Amino acid sequence: MTAGDPGAHAVLGPEHAGVDMLSLVVAARVPGRHEWLRPEREAILDHALRARTVVELAAEVGLPVGQVRGIVAAMIADGSLQRCGPSRPLGRQDILHAVLAGLCSL
């Protein structure tokens, strides 16, 4: 499971299934001055002040992606993080065709 955050194991059910490497999350709150957080959770909150993917957070805090994925799922469940949707719909055919045409022209 997650070696660094024992609280993360409780959410490895349905909530965890929706968090993947490219899930975009942002801090829903800033830790209080007198609030004690596990170091990995504090680091994730600090790096998620602007929207980040789980992979970006893992690279920035220096933890394995799987571990960060579990911690992020727990932090979404407790309200510390919230999911962000993409700014525009993914999978639009015109964009995919433009990318494919660009790659073919290389």
Q: Where are the domains positioned within the chain? A: 6-104
pLDDT score recorded for residue 1? 40
* DSSP assignments along 22-67, one per residue: T-EEEESS---TT----HHHHHHHHHTTS-EEHHHHHHHHT--HHH
Tokens of 101: 């045409």
Q: For residue range 21-58, what is the model confidence (pLDDT) as tens digits? A: 888 999 998 766 656 778 899 899 999 999 999 999 99
pLDDT score recorded for residue 6? 45
Q: For residue range 82-103, what is the model confidence (pLDDT) as tens digits? A: 998 765 555 677 777 888 888 8
Pairing of strands 81-84, 52-53: unpaired
**What's the topology of domain 6-104?**
Arc Repressor Mutant, subunit A (1.10.10)
